[in-house]
Amino acid sequence: MFSELKPLPTDPILGLMAAFKQDTNPKKIDLGVGVYKDEQGNTPVLKAVKKAEAFRLENETSKSYIGLAGNLDYCQKMENLLLGEHPALLANRVRTAQAPGGTGALRVAAEFIKRCNKDATVWVTTPTWANHISLFEAAGLTVKEYPYYDYENKDLLFDDMINTLKQVPKGDVVLFHACCHNPSGMDLNAEQWSTVADLAVEVGFTPLVDIAYQGFGSSLEEDAAGLRKLAAAVDELIICSSCSKNFGLYRERIGACSIIAKDAATADISNSVLLSVVRSIYSMPPAHGADIVSTILGSTELTQMWHDELDEMRNRINGLRTLIKESLAAKGIEQDFSFIDRQNGMFSFLGINKEQIERLQKEYSIYIVGSSRVNVAGISDANIDYFANAVADVCK
């Protein structure tokens, strides 16, 4: 049976990560995979995480199974982190299942949507994180795209987006990136979120909000403001969250899938379906990441430490955006890169062509994704000049 299989291409982003590792050029720069890096190019374990892990090592009393929803304290704390003191929480309309990473949350959401409406189409931004498409298709759902990023003007195609979303049939799902859009870095402003919230009510689609970078854009609160606005407007909403980036817990695989239903009774029914989905995929989530997050969020001291570390990551990213803009401008490149400083999170499209991307990799060992997406966190004071010169050379 296995001999019938045809080889499939690997994920291009993860492939780039492997190619970078093999490159022996000491000047190599990894601007590929979306992982935060400090000035030294490392992705260290956060101090708050180390402390919480030490606490866990001392205080964990059992390795017995946790339930289908995982760590309930974690689930409740995540709801508060995502929604604040939200009317939907006060009305007991929210249910959360811990999930193995944001990816696991999305896969659970996909199966949940399938149970709600097997004919639902999931609408995603053009472009979006490539995994979105494969995750929903793997659950047998149809995926369609709506206009989002304006490659030419490095802006949102907001009018086109709204015009397409107006045509979405009731019962379909529309996926939004809460903040730090992957791959474009282009986010909706407050007014645009209000328009989208009104539209969701008018058209009757169900929003699914993917929030994988809360705290990486403006702040924990501001990055969730659009999500909260949407959640205040509609009866039903799905949230897929991830602690990979903001807690630096990438390999621990910790995230959550939250359902907001129109009332507490519907939320209970939805929750039973959600947990049935979980059981049919992996039974129960792993414990470690959730324990770390709930320990941090349950301690004033550790929460403060985490906030400080998160601020440091975000400030570094935002500082790098300005540095990249200024350094490229100083090289006298004809192309305007000022948009990099207006976008959010770790990603932006440089807007250079395939040949230029290949030259950056071959001649300079600078690794960027084929779409020209760069992870700005891979830049540092030590390599910015090398990077700017290389970009200037390939843009000549």
Chosen residue from 98, 121, 206, 242 binding ligand PLP by CB under 6 A: 242
242 binds, among ligand TYF, ligand PLP, none (CB under 5 to 8 A by kind): ligand PLP
Residues in 108-137 that interact with ligand PLP by CB under 6 A: 129
Element (H, E) at 77: helix 72-83
Binding residues for ligand TYF, how many (CB under 6 A)? 8
Please name the amino acid found at residue 61. T
Query: 265 is written with which tokens?
Result: 């009774």
14 binds, among ligand TYF, ligand PLP, none (CB under 5 to 8 A by kind): ligand TYF
Chosen residue from 20, 30, 34, 199 binding ligand TYF by CB under 6 A: 34
**Is it true that the peptide bond before 147 is cis, omega within 30 degrees of 0?**
no
Residue 187 engages ligand PLP in binding (rule: CB under 6 A): no
210 binds, among ligand TYF, ligand PLP, none (CB under 5 to 8 A by kind): ligand PLP
E strand map for the chain: 29-30, 94-99, 121-126, 142-147, 149-150, 155-156, 173-177, 206-211, 237-242, 255-260, 347-349, 366-367, 373-375
Q: Would you say 164 or 343 has its CB closer to ligand TYF?
A: 343
Give the DSSP per-residue string, 114-140.
Answer: HHH-TT-EEEEEES--HHHHHHHHHTT
* Span from 99-107, 140-148, 184-192, 360-368 in contact with ligand PLP (CB under 6 A): 99-107
Please name the amino acid found at residue 97. A
Q: How far is the CB of 129 from ligand TYF (least distance, A)?
A: 5
Binding pattern to ligand PLP, positions 252-271, x when CB under 6 A? Answer: ---x----------------
What CA–CA distance (Å, rounded) separates 336 from 74?
A: 44
Judge residue 7's burial from the number of C-beta atoms within 10 Å of its C-beta, 0-12 exposed, 13-18 middle, 19 or more buried: exposed
Residue 102 engages ligand PLP in binding (rule: CB under 6 A): yes
Residue 101 engages ligand PLP in binding (rule: CB under 6 A): yes
Distances (CA, A) of 147 to 65, 128, 156, 160, 383: 44, 10, 9, 6, 35
Q: Which of 70, 138, 63 is nearest to 98 (CA)?
A: 70
Which of 30, 172, 210, 291 is the catalytic position?
210
Chosen residue from 15, 72, 76, 131 binding ligand TYF by CB under 6 A: 131
Is there a catalytic annotation at residue 381?
no
Is there a catalytic annotation at residue 306?
no
Q: Would you say 14 or 54 has its CB closer to ligand TYF?
A: 14
Binding pattern to ligand TYF, positions 164-193, x when CB under 6 A? Answer: ------------------x-----------
Task: Name 375's Cβ contacts closer than 8 Å, sequence gap at least 6.
Answer: 30, 31, 32, 33, 34, 35, 37, 346, 347
| Dihedrals phi, psi of 18, to nearest 5 degrees | -70, -40
Is there a catalytic annotation at residue 362?
no
Which of 129, 187, 193, 291 is the catalytic position?
129
What CA–CA distance (Å, rounded) separates 69 from 95?
A: 9
What CA–CA distance (Å, rounded) separates 232 from 237?
A: 10
Residue 182 engages ligand PLP in binding (rule: CB under 6 A): yes
Binding site for ligand TYF (CB under 6 A): 11, 13-14, 33-34, 129, 131, 182
> Which of the residues are catalytic?
129, 210, 245
Which residues of the chain form contacts with ligand PLP (CB under 6 A)?
Answer: 34, 101-103, 129, 177, 182, 210, 212, 242, 244, 250, 255
